[in-house]
Amino acid sequence: MRLDGRTALITGAAGGIGSETARCFAAEGADVVLSDIDLQGGTAVRDEITALGGRASCIGADLTREEEIVSLFATVMQEHGRLDILVNIAGGDREPAAGIEDICAGNIGMNLDLNLASCMLCCREAAKIMKPQGYGRIVNMSSLVYRGSANQFSYAASKGGVFSFTRSLAMALGSSGITVNALAPALVEVEAFRKALGPERWRALAASCAERYPLGRIARPADVARAALFLASDDAAFITGQILEISGGARL
């Protein structure tokens, strides 16, 4: 198994992508620590994994609060004594499909806090643990809209920031045996997107994207989870500072 003996922290683990990543990592032998602001949802995923014989625990945390991030990593160390893998999946869009006339400082700040600042602070805490170990794998969650989007201004900016930060961190941590990469999915079939857009808009968007993507469908959570597994494993030991687009050829 590719992650046997590794301890992996996955944020946003109650959501569609996070929960699938947790299942995927546990199936590959990792001792998985799930974290989410939705403690009930994270606990349900933990119970599902342990019922199948995997090793998993769950810690509730609001990653827009720095003190809770610090506490999260302290708890991981207290309970596991090490951290080999960090996958930063927690995030979201607080002003989906907002026109330029409609964006506001409050929502801009929330998107930057939720998607970018939380990622940076989690990486900071992970680096404190991984550098003395001389080993680590960090996988951050960007988005295909890191390239720009005509109706996701602050979200796209935050995900572009994740990519720039990932490259910077890869430069800083490479000499310590730590790789840092990012994932950039296109549209993924998850409940959070359906809720954010509403059923009618979601169906229209999903159909439109599926028609445009060369592979003829939108992404599934497992598509993203398997890419995260690759980057978190030693199969990707000589890959760092990269952004892996999971897009079905959307940008060809």
pLDDT in tens, 9-19: 999 999 999 99
Of 96, 200, 206, which Cα lies nearest the Cα of 158? Answer: 96
pLDDT in tens, 60-119: 999 999 999 999 999 999 999 999 999 999 999 888 878 899 899 999 999 999 999 999
- Asked whether residue 112 is domain-assigned, the answer is yes
Quick one: pLDDT at residue 251? 81
- Owning domain of residue 25: 7-189+219-246
CATH at residue 82: 3.40.50.720
- Asked whether residue 199 is domain-assigned, the answer is no
CA pair distance 162, 144, nearest whole angstrom: 12
pLDDT greater at residue 202 or residue 22: 22
The pTM is what? 0.95
- Asked whether residue 71 is domain-assigned, the answer is yes
Quick one: pLDDT at residue 43? 98
pLDDT in tens, 113-144: 999 999 999 999 999 999 999 999 999 999 99
Quick one: pLDDT at residue 36? 98
- Asked whether residue 205 is domain-assigned, the answer is no
CA pair distance 12, 22, nearest whole angstrom: 10
Contact 24, 4 (CB under 8 A): no
Quick one: pLDDT at residue 166? 98
- Asked whether residue 214 is domain-assigned, the answer is no
The amino acid present at 90, given as its one-letter code, is A
The amino acid present at 211, given as its one-letter code, is E
- Asked whether residue 38 is domain-assigned, the answer is yes
What's the number of domains the chain is made of?
Answer: 1
Q: Using alpha carbons, list the distances in angstroms from residue 23 to 11, 54, 62, 135, 143.
A: 13, 8, 22, 23, 21
Instruction: Write the DSSP string, 94-116.
Output: SSTT--TTT--HHHHHHHIIIII
Please compute the mean of the pLDDT values over residues 177-183 and round it to a whole number: 98
> Looking at the annotation, which residues are catalytic?
155
pLDDT in tens, 206-246: 898 889 999 999 999 999 999 999 999 999 999 999 999 99
CA pair distance 167, 76, nearest whole angstrom: 26
Per DSSP, the three-state class of 155 is helix
Residue whose structure tokens are 């019922």: 51
Quick one: pLDDT at residue 77? 98
- Asked whether residue 1 is domain-assigned, the answer is no
Mean pLDDT of the chain: 95
204: pLDDT confidence band, cut at 50, 70 and 90? confident
Q: Which residues pair with 140 in a beta bridge?
A: 88, 182
249: pLDDT confidence band, cut at 50, 70 and 90? very high
- Asked whether residue 231 is domain-assigned, the answer is yes
Please compute the mean of the pLDDT values over residues 26-50 and round it to a whole number: 98
Q: Which residues pair with 141 in a beta bridge?
A: 183
